[in-house]
């Protein structure tokens, strides 16, 4: 397999790969809201997942390229609905993940899906070594949760069920419009 791609091809891939990240973040917003914010991740457990106080929606064309909503609950703002209905998708979002005892917060961008501005659960530990081990375990668990969610999305995206999922997303948008108006 020849991996010597021309520079133009590499630039194209770099600038156009974010569509999958935007789709994933938009689907994650939809998935959490329609599932009462519950996500069952099998062996990883049952969690609550929320879009927190930052939501940035972008389009790949048009004059108004970015719509940034900050503070409060932007996922429920009328402006977020208008952005969705105009074809924008989530480019960046801040999330809260909770289980029965812990809470994580982080921001994720569609470009690379890396975890940014991560706030880990508070750890009570008798010594520095135990404290560090718990923080590392919480970091790994968050990474595993996000990876599992992305794999769930990719499995759906590549399946025959995706067309039906798009219809459900359209219904969700319509329902958001009914409740916003």
**Lowest mean pLDDT: which of 21-30, 55-64, 103-112, 124-133?**
55-64
Q: Is residue 151 classed exposed, middle or buried when 0-12, 13-18 and 19+ CB atoms within 10 A define those classes? A: exposed
pTM: 0.86
In this predicted structure, the answer to whether residue 7 has a pLDDT above a threshold of 80 is no
pLDDT single digits (tens) 52-100 = 999 999 987 655 688 899 999 999 999 998 898 888 999 999 999 999 9
Whether residue 30 has pLDDT greater than 50 = yes
Q: Are 84 and 69 in contact (CB under 8 A)?
A: no
Beta bridge partners of 50: 96
Q: What percent of the chain shows pLDDT beyond 70?
A: 86
pLDDT digits (tens, 9 = 90+) for 37-53: 999 999 999 999 999 99
Token pair belonging to 94: 């801040």
Q: Are 33 and 72 in contact (CB under 8 A)?
A: no
Pick from 8-22, 67-81, 94-108 the range whose average pLDDT is largest: 94-108
Query: pLDDT confidence of 1, banded at 50, 70, 90?
Result: very low
Asked whether residue 164 carries a pLDDT value surpassing 60, the answer given is: yes
**Residue 174 in this model has a pLDDT that exceeds 70:** yes
Is there a contact between 155 and 31 (Cβ–Cβ < 8 Å)? no
């Amino acid at each position: 397999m020849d991996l010597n791609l021309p520079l133009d091809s590499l630039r194209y891939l770099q600038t156009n790969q974010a569509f999958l990240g935007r789709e994933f973040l938009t689907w994650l917003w939809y998935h959490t809201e329609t599932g009462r914010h519950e996500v069952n991740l099998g062996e990883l457990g049952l969690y609550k997942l929320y879009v927190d106080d930052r939501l940035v929606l972008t389009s790949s064309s048009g004059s108004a390229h970015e719509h940034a909503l900050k503070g409060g609950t932007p996922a429920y703002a009328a402006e977020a609905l208008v952005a969705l209905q105009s074809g924008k998708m989530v480019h960046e979002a801040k999330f809260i993940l909770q289980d029965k005892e812990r809470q994580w917060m982080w921001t994720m961008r569609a470009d690379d899906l890396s975890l940014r501005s991560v706030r880990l659960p508070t750890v009570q530990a008798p010594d520095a070594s135990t404290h560090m081990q718990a923080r590392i375990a919480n970091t790994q668990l968050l990474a595993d949760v996000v990876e599992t969610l992305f794999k769930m999305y990719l499995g759906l995206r590549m399946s025959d069920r995706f067309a039906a999922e798009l219809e459900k997303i359209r219904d969700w948008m319509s329902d958001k419009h009914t409740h916003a108006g």
